[in-house]
Amino acid sequence: MVWVLSAWRRDGGRLWVVWLPVVAVGVTPDQVSLGVLMTAVPRDAVDSAVAGCGVGAKRSDGTLPPHVVAYLTMALCLFAEDDYEEVATKVTGALSRFGCWDARWSVPSSSGITQARVRLGAPVMEEIFESVVQPVGTMDTRGAWLREWRVLAIDGFDVDMPDSEENAAEFGYAGSGDNRSAFPKARVVAVSECGTHAFLACEVAGYSVGEETLGMRLYPRLRRNELLTADRGFYSFEAWKLAVGTGAALLWRAPTGLRLPVVRVQSDGTYLSVVIDPKIRAKPVMIN
């Protein structure tokens, strides 16, 4: 079964976030076939993202054209324990078999790869993800469906960053003073498919940006045949209104302070309620 693995590469004071289609639960990154990667992320998708971001090759004879750098970046995340040259050697073999590597080129150096990745930029990788990401659970996938709804979940997590001035300025630290985290942290909130854990959408920001704020950027992407589950930390009237407005079904835990009046008790013991905008205030009634 194909699912999506989220992988991270931290180097040079930069954060690279890559979501890669891989094969089979339980397979470690160094066992993932680069041939599968090339098949799952076709050259057309890479070239389209490169063109859309305006970072095409400046020279026709360059040894690191943008499409090579894109595949190399994905491989660096898959083989995070290997150094640049080792990963580049693995990638060039796969690229040769798929006709994406010129035999006259030599394996690039570490500094050359770093400079090429800066030229490529992170937005290209985001565009590639958006072009290939899709739900992968079938009707036979356990936990992926509830009746007619594809079951999704939204949740957040944070990632330690290299302790550089640039990352500190961009992402910030958790806590302050003596309780400050050792490393800058990035905040990540993702919508994933239950049953496969495939990421379908994601937002990354500084640690000071709350999960609820990032969630608001993701709700408009919901669809009518989806059921989004969420913990109580994501609830607000505006968030609920935005999410339910897409036509998707919602199953959210309610925060403790939320008043849910009983409108009608159902035969199974559950009850219907109503969510009221907290901005609405009832006018006082004078009783003689």
Strand partners, 204: 188
Tell me if 69 sits within 8 A of 120, measured CB to CB.
yes
6: tokens are 């989220």
What backbone phi and psi angles, to 5 degrees, belong to 265? -85, 135
Residue whose structure tokens are 């590469």 = 9
- Beta strands 149-160 and 198-206 are unpaired
Outline where 121-198 has alpha helix (H): 122-132, 165-171
Q: Going by C-beta distance under 8 Å and a sequence separation of 6 or more, which residues neighbour residue 60? A: none
Cα(217)–Cα(155) distance, rounded to whole angstroms?
Answer: 13
* Farthest-apart Cα atoms in the chain, separation: 95
Tell me if 133 sits within 8 A of 192, measured CB to CB.
no
Of all helices (H) and strands (E), which one includes residue 81?
Answer: none
Whether this model's pTM surpasses 0.85: no
Domain boundaries, the chain: 2-132, 145-272
Query: Using one digit for the tens of pLDDT, what is the confidence trace for 193-220?
Result: 999 998 999 999 999 999 999 999 999 9
Fold of 145-272: Nucleotidyltransferase; domain 5 (3.30.420)
Query: Using one digit for the tens of pLDDT, what is the confidence trace for 63-104?
Result: 678 888 898 888 887 787 788 888 877 777 666 665 666 666
Amino acid found at 3: W
Tell me if 233 sits within 8 A of 212, measured CB to CB.
yes
Q: At what angle do helices 43-53 and 122-132 cross, to 10 degrees?
A: 130
The alpha carbon of 151 is separated from its chain's Cα centroid by a whole number of angstroms, namely: 17
280: tokens are 């609405």
Q: How confident is the model at residue 281, as a pLDDT?
A: 76
Confidence band, pLDDT 50/70/90 cuts, at residue 61: low
Q: How confident is the model at residue 2, as a pLDDT?
A: 35
Q: How confident is the model at residue 99, as a pLDDT?
A: 61
Tell me if 151 sits within 8 A of 143, measured CB to CB.
yes
Average pLDDT over residues 268-279: 89
Rg of the chain over all Cα atoms, to the nearest angstrom: 23
Q: What is the mean pLDDT of the chain?
A: 81
Of all helices (H) and strands (E), which one includes residue 227?
Answer: strand 226-230
Q: How confident is the model at residue 5, as a pLDDT?
A: 39
Confidence band, pLDDT 50/70/90 cuts, at residue 285: low
Tell me if 20 sits within 8 A of 40, measured CB to CB.
yes
